[in-house]
Amino acid sequence: MSVRLCAQAWREIKKEYMAGRTAKELAKQFGVTARTIHNRSSQQRWRNEVPVPRAGVASEDLTRHGGAA
């Protein structure tokens, strides 16, 4: 049986995911699979909305190379 999440739950998942929590952590918390979260984030292009700094890359490096910081 699958779990159907309401819009508020998806907003919370997106907020936490964009803040750096893993899909695996969120999936466990909300009772869905990590794949479900990955699919939703990919379809809605969450990662394109706000760049997430990668480990070891300073924000000024992102700006210098064309990324938005």
| Residue-number span of the structural domain to which 45 is assigned | 7-64
- Is 13 inside any structural domain? yes
* 16 is a domain residue: yes
Say if 1 falls within a structural domain: no
Residue 23: CATH number of its domain: 1.10.10
Residue 2 parent element (H or E):
none
**3-state SS class at 43:** helix
Total domains, the chain: 1
Task: Classify residue 42: in a domain, yes or no.
Answer: yes
Question: Is 60 exceeded by the pLDDT of residue 60?
Answer: no
Please tell me the predicted confidence (pLDDT) of residue 68: 52
Give tens-digit pLDDT for 37-54.
999 999 999 877 765 565
- The pLDDT tens digits for 6-35 are 999 999 999 999 999 999 999 999 999 999
Greater pLDDT, 66 or 8 = 8
pLDDT confidence of residue 47: 79
